[in-house]
């Protein structure tokens, strides 16, 4: 799926243009929709000893072309910033405020503290700064996990250019003492857990060579559920899958997902990767993925084991037996009882097994309305932002 059409819709670029103009350098004219973010930027700057109150600013909507989301004219007096109206209006969902703040802070970061792009990474793979952009390494996206416990660090880095590694970038959890009960183990010997079909123009699901094989022949990315009496994902769980994706496009993403697939409350948390070893982590109702990562430990041609553990209000991500990343759920809802996979259009996935466990402190089950109604579900479309200077 072009996970850039999967959860994210496509490509969007932010260009920061240096230009010259002459006007009152202290003029201040900011659209009311941007004002709360501008004032927060100015207040946060003061926290770190930077006062821009005497400087002017023009910030307005524009209809920008070529998929441009924002323009910062850093040499104009006053600094002038334009935000694409279509892009701004398309940002919605539980992470709306953070995405908009990230955009405004990035633009103002060019204009006021005069920050340039920086594409370094922290030890855990997160971008070092919200000022990442331009041509990014390893084909990554510029999506910053600008939320939860990470947000304070990114604001501090913006105004101080600190080289301090935040504690969460070195964190490795210890679950050696946790007790988890088996809820589900699905493989080629349990065909009742898989979506088996008579081959048709859209899908083909079958057991073949001791694997579950599902082919998506459509032009639509899909969510493919496992058929079982689902575990309420508000409880703690561990979900692991061994699988391999076959697709002609190495940039297409496949991964594990869980959440609520009812039409009125659609919310899927996803953890996906592609053959170029890029990773996207996010939630489907948000405008774009939380973060884009890169991991050399992923295999391009062999099976990969990917896993996700929920413990309290945190999700922990694993690849081929190793802890990789963690993400908090404080500001993003998690609900539903459906576990499955996200896969791109025109692709085939080969699954060795899927297993789900629940910790001893939680284990409440919630049955599906009817497992015989489970079908592949088209993934809603979202768009990311790509920064270029």
pLDDT at position 19: 40
* φ, ψ (nearest 5 deg) of residue 185: -140, 115
pLDDT at position 199: 78
Question: β-strands 386-388, 13-15: how paired?
Answer: parallel
Query: Could you tell me which residues come within 8 angstroms of residue 177 by beta carbon, excluding any fewer than 6 positions away?
Result: none
Share of the chain above pLDDT 70, in %: 86
Share of the chain above pLDDT 90, in %: 64
| SS3 assignment, position 156 | helix
**What average pLDDT is seen over the chain?**
86
Res. 383: pLDDT tops 80: no
Mean pLDDT in residue range 288-298: 93
Res. 367: pLDDT tops 60: no
Mean pLDDT in residue range 137-158: 94
Question: 170 pLDDT band (50/70/90 cuts)?
Answer: very high
pLDDT at position 134: 79
pLDDT at position 78: 94
Question: 362 pLDDT band (50/70/90 cuts)?
Answer: low
Res. 179: pLDDT tops 50: yes
If you ran DSSP here, which 8-state letter would residue 365 be given?
B
CB 317 within 8 A of CB 325: yes
- Reported as a single tens digit per residue, the pLDDT across 225-268 is 998 877 889 999 999 999 999 999 999 999 999 998 887 888 89
Mean pLDDT in residue range 282-296: 90
- Reported as a single tens digit per residue, the pLDDT across 297-309 is 999 989 999 999 9
pLDDT at position 360: 55
Q: What separation, in Å, do the N-terminal and C-terminal C-alpha atoms of the chain show? A: 27
Res. 316: pLDDT tops 60: yes
Residue 3 belongs to what H/E stretch? Answer: helix 3-6
pLDDT at position 188: 96
Q: Within a 13 Å sphere around the CA of 105, how many CA atoms are in the beta-carbon half?
A: 27
What domains, with CATH codes, occur in the chain? 3-169 (3.40.390), 180-384 (2.60.120.560)
pLDDT at position 65: 81
CB 252 within 8 A of CB 344: yes
Res. 47: pLDDT tops 50: yes
Mean pLDDT in residue range 115-138: 93
Please state, in angstroms and rounded to a whole number, the distance separating the CA atoms of residues 221 and 241. 19
Res. 54: pLDDT tops 70: yes
- Reported as a single tens digit per residue, the pLDDT across 368-381 is 443 444 456 655 54
CB 69 within 8 A of CB 133: no
């Amino acid at each position: 799926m072009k996970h850039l059409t999967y959860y994210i819709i496509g490509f969007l670029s932010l260009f920061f243009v240096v230009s010259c103009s002459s006007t009152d350098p202290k003029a201040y004219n900011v659209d009311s929709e941007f004002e709360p973010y501008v004032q927060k930027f100015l207040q946060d700057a003061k926290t770190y000893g930077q006062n821009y109150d005497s400087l002017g600013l023009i910030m307005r909507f524009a209809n920008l072309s070529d998929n441009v989301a924002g323009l910062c004219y850093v040499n104009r007096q006053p600094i002038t910033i334009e935000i694409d109206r279509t892009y701004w209006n398309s940002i919605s969902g539980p992470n709306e405020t953070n995405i908009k703040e990230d955009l405004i802070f990035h633009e103002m970061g060019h204009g006021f503290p005069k920050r340039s792009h920086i594409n370094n990474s922290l030890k855990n793979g997160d971008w070092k700064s919200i000022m990442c952009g331009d041509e990014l390494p390893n084909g990554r996206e510029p999506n910053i996990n600008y939320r939860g416990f990470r947000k304070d660090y990114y604001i501090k880095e913006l105004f101080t250019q600190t080289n301090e590694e935040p504690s969460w970038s070195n964190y490795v959890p210890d679950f050696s003492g946790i007790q988890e009960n088996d809820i589900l183990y699905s493989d080629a010997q349990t065909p009742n857990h898989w979506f088996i079909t008579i081959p048709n123009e859209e899908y083909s699901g079958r057991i073949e060579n001791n694997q579950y094989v599902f082919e998506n022949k459509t032009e639509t990315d899909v969510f493919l559920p496992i058929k079982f009496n689902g575990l309420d994902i508000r409880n703690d769980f561990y979900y692991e899958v061994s699988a391999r994706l076959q697709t002609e496009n190495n940039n297409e993403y496949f991964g594990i997902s869980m959440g609520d697939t009812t039409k009125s409350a659609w919310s899927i948390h996803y953890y996906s990767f592609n053959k170029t070893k890029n990773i996207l982590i996010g939630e489907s109702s948000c405008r774009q993925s939380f973060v884009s990562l890169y991991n050399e430990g992923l295999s391009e041609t062999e099976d990969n084991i990917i896993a996700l553990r929920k413990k309290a209000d945190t999700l922990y991500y694993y690849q081929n037996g190793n802890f990789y990343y963690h993400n908090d759920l404080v500001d993003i809802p998690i609900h539903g009882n459906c576990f499955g996979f996200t896969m791109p259009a025109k692709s085939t996935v080969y699954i060795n097994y899927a297993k789900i466990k629940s910790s001893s402190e939680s284990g409440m089950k919630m049955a599906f309305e009817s497992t015989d109604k489970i079908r592949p579900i088209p993934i809603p479309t979202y768009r990311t932002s790509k920064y270029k200077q």
